Structure 1
Amino acid sequence: MQHPDPRRLSINTATVRKQWTLDKIIDGCARHGICGISPWRDQVQALGLEKTARLIRSNALTVSGYCRGGMFPGVDDATRQVASDDNRRAVDEALALGAACLVLVVGGLPGSSKDIAGARQQVKDGLSRLLDYSRNVGMPLAIEPLHPMYAADRACVNTLEQANDLCDELGDKGLGIAVDLYHTWWDPKLFPQLERAGRNRILAFHICDWLVPTRDLLSDRGMMGDGVIDIRSARLAVESLGYQGAHEVEIFSELNWWQQEPNDVLSTCKERHQQYC
């Protein structure tokens, strides 16, 4: 059995966000010997960008990703410009934190639209404009395909194949993919599309588990080992392709893990990472 390198474990701050503020999450990761962290923008704004960067550096944590940019589609030019301006700020924040990438949840149907093809074109156009900025300052962008249940409201890019197509069309420089197993485990093309992405495009690798039954599609993710995802096979696949980044635990769990003592949650993340990743 090929156990993962424990130094590759990273905690997406959503995993214990209901129990701890960001400064406590940073401290908790350091105390538990967890080497990576991936903060969310609202938490960074609450703590302060400079203070967050200082605490992360002083605790010698690696920032595996920054959550999140995207949400490109809009009902009109003014709305799309607001998103564009905010995405540039997100790039600047990711740079200040030393993040490995800015994760993009691209957005769904704007307003009352039913034109998903049009929404996907807006995503491509918005992403192209953002790349003009992010490439210049050196911040990689990671498209995160979301499960099709989110196509209408959160992300109309739903498969690795779609994300790979965007990379083909817009160019690989500074652009890649965040592979979140919660969203992609079901895809019959998962492994061929991972191979297509290869080492250069896979910028992030997110882990948790899919529970059966899932009681809430947004906030009932499982701890690794509690569900049906073959996490180890996916981890071995991305590493065989040359991926050398973090294994980022991202668990939204209103009904379970957000109710648990956060030190216990981090300890369980460490144990399950070794058992199931």
Structure 2
Amino acid sequence: MTPRTTAGEHAPDRFSINQMTVKQLPLPELVDACTGLGVRHVGLWREPVRAYGVEDAAKLVRDAGLTVSTLCRGGFLTATDPHARVAAIDDNRAAIDEAAALGTHVLVLVSGGLPPGSRDLAAARERIADALAELAPYAAQRGVRLAIEPLHPMFASDRCVVSTLAQALDLAERFPADQVGVCVDTYHVWWDERAPEQIARAGCGGRIATFQLADWTTPLPEGVLNGRGQLGDGAVDMREWRSYVEAAGYDGPIEVELFNDGLWARDGREVLAETVRRYAQHAVPHGA
């Protein structure tokens, strides 16, 4: 059953829904809801895709006329234990294979936090570079680009030692631009006064692999990871950030990726329709 639509709910052409925003929807239902709302792009996550079956998921989205804007996520490349590092490389190669099977050219990387007992951020970032040296050529062979996503500094210890676009670009620029780029996510970079100039830097080098939207609302929930706000509910000017990436040359899909317990507790189809409306209200340029 497809959701009822109105003209205002028909998705703009570049709108992409990240699967995590409506994770309560099983993949077939998500695809059906996207079709009903005219959504053309979807960002997928590895866990539900593998549960459904990678090849079956690829056929499902392809037959519905959807394109997969990104696959989330690879990464977690900072371990010091040799066995853990081998396992991480193997898992990322598998993620690259899954991205290729789904027909997406972008695998988003959350790089990983500090290993237990470590306080050495610089060494952790160097281990990411070492891992990228192994993974980037393999990804290129599979037609996949690795997108380093900087996360807000509050996640540096446990999830991602790459906290700014400048740090992400410092890593990415060690490799060919068609192999390693960056993910610009408003939730993670809106606070950084240097981010606009770093977006321009990324554009000059052809490094913007994907662009994601989420709002910053306060107070943050107890589970900080799930605090991403619906567009328009917080402090981020979505049109302004869109103007930065477009001035830098990015013209691909624009994903809305929301980790939000309140949204997950609601009907997923309603959340998807609401997200389409909010995108049109807050992220589409005036007069477009």
Normalised by the size of structure 1, how large is the TM-score? Answer: 0.95
Cα displacement (A) at 1:111: 2.4
1:271 pairs with 2:284:
no
Match of 2:6 in 1: none
Q: Match for 1:172 among 171, 177, 181?
A: 177
- Report which stretch shifted further, 234-243 or 189-198: 234-243
What are the residue-to-residue correspondences of 1:155-166 with 2, within 5 Å?
Answer: 155-166=160-171
* Equivalent residues of 2:99, 2:144 under 8 A apart: yes
Match of 1:89 in 2: 94
Distance 1:134 1:180 in 2: 22
Say what the alpha-carbon RMSD is for the aligned residues. Answer: 1.2
1:204 pairs with 2:203:
no
Deviation sequence 1:158-203 (CA, Å, 0-9, x none): 1000111112223323110111110011001011000000062111
Match of 2:5 in 1: none
Match of 2:64 in 1: 59
Count of aligned pairs: 271
Match of 1:11 in 2: 17
Distance 2:217 2:64 in 1: 34
Match of 2:244 in 1: 237
- Report which stretch shifted further, 28-37 or 83-92: 28-37
Deviation sequence 1:74-128 (CA, Å, 0-9, x none): 1311110000011001000000001130000010111222222211111111111
Unaligned runs of at least 5 residues, structure 2: 1-10, 284-288
Q: Secondary structure at the match of 1:64?
A: strand
Match of 1:213 in 2: 219
Q: Match for 1:101 among 96, 100, 106?
A: 106
Unaligned runs of at least 5 residues, structure 1: none
- Report which stretch shifted further, 168-177 or 188-197: 168-177
Distance 1:35 1:21 in 2: 18
Paired AA for residue 105 in structure 2: A
Q: Match for 1:23 among 25, 28, 31?
A: 28
1:119 pairs with 2:112:
no
Match of 2:154 in 1: 149
Cα displacement (A) at 1:259: 1.3
Distance 1:75 1:243 in 2: 36
